[in-house]
Amino acid sequence: MSLANGNFELWNSPTDASNWIEAVGDGSVAREDTEVYAGTYSCKLTGGATPQWLPRILQVVSVTAGRTYWLSFWTRGDGINAGRYRVYDLTGDVPGEVIAQTSTGITGEGWQQINVNFVAPAGSTALQLFLYGPNASGGIVYFDDAVFTDHIGMLPARLLPMLWPESMNLWLTGIGEEAAAGTVSATWTPMARSAAWTLPARSTEWTPLARGTTWTPRKIERAD
């Protein structure tokens, strides 16, 4: 269900990202080691001379119909051009677009995050996730740290502060303790957006709930 090599750290060659399918036409895909959001590499997509054929990379992911999924990635442009993304249902009752090809709207040279969520269509078991280069010859966009999940608890710790604004006052800074069957006591306080978090092994079972909602305790600690 998750993306493989979403952080673009693994490459079979300088133009072939591991676990991704490349379809670039007369554009290009390349391993980038200078303009990087996190880690050592990112993915650089350069537009070709044929505007109808945008350079793209894609993966097929397994899904469960009716379940909500999150797609998150970091991207930047070249000061003029923005990348695009798309989600296509391969196997549902009515195969087709889940998210039509959509511009990120991010043309600037600073990294910004895109977060979208959607429900897997009826009958669907597999989706294609696309990331596209720009519709401009020689235009450049970059992608890094792509994540696909049905569980916010599975997102990398550095993404958590981006999903809820500080004003919601929903940061767990302590360890919940069971007070009675089906209940938990915990301390919720606001934290700086840039605060670091670590998630335990069982964090895959953690889901965000409204304040005061009964939940099963899971250990979530701030990394000091």
Q: What is the CATH number of the domain that holds 105?
A: 2.60.120.260
Closest by Cα among 38, 43, 44 to 8: 43
Q: Are residues 129 and 24 in the same domain?
A: yes
pLDDT at 190: 45
- Residue 137: domain span: 11-150
Mark whether 59 and 112 lie in a shared domain: yes
The mean pLDDT value of the chain amounts to 76
In a domain, 19, yes or no: yes
What pLDDT is stored for residue 92 in this prediction?
87
> How do residues 44-94 score in pLDDT, each as one tens digit?
999 998 877 899 999 999 999 999 999 999 999 999 999 999 999 999 888
Record the pTM. Answer: 0.69
Q: What is the pLDDT of residue 1?
A: 56
Q: Do 140 and 175 share a domain, yes or no?
A: no
**Sequential DSSP letters for 5-45:** STT---EEETTEETT-EEE-TTSEEEEESSS-SSSS-EEEE
pLDDT in tens, 8-34: 999 999 999 999 999 998 999 999 999
Residues of the chain with pLDDT > 70, as a percent, come to 67
The answer to whether 216 and 210 have CB atoms below 8 angstroms apart is: no
Rounded CA separation 39/121 (Å): 34
Q: Is the pLDDT of residue 151 over 70?
A: no
Residue that finishes a domain, picked among 150, 177, 201: 150
If asked whether residues 105 and 203 sit together in one domain, one would say: no
Calculate what percentage of the chain has a pLDDT beyond 90. Answer: 57
**Does 31 lie in the same domain as 132?**
yes
Q: Helix count (H) and strand count (E) of the chain?
A: 1, 14
Last residue of a domain, one of 150, 178, 206: 150
When divided into structural domains, the chain yields a total of 2
Residue range 162-171: mean pLDDT, rounded: 37
Note whether residue 102 is domain-resident: yes
| Model confidence band, residue 139 (pLDDT cutoffs 50, 70, 90) | very high
Residue 1, in any domain of the structure: no
Shared domain for 144 and 87, answered yes or no, is yes
- The reply to whether 35 and 104 lie within a common domain is yes
> Of 98, 124, 150, which one is at a domain's C-terminal end?
150
Q: Do residue 37 and residue 122 come from a single domain?
A: yes
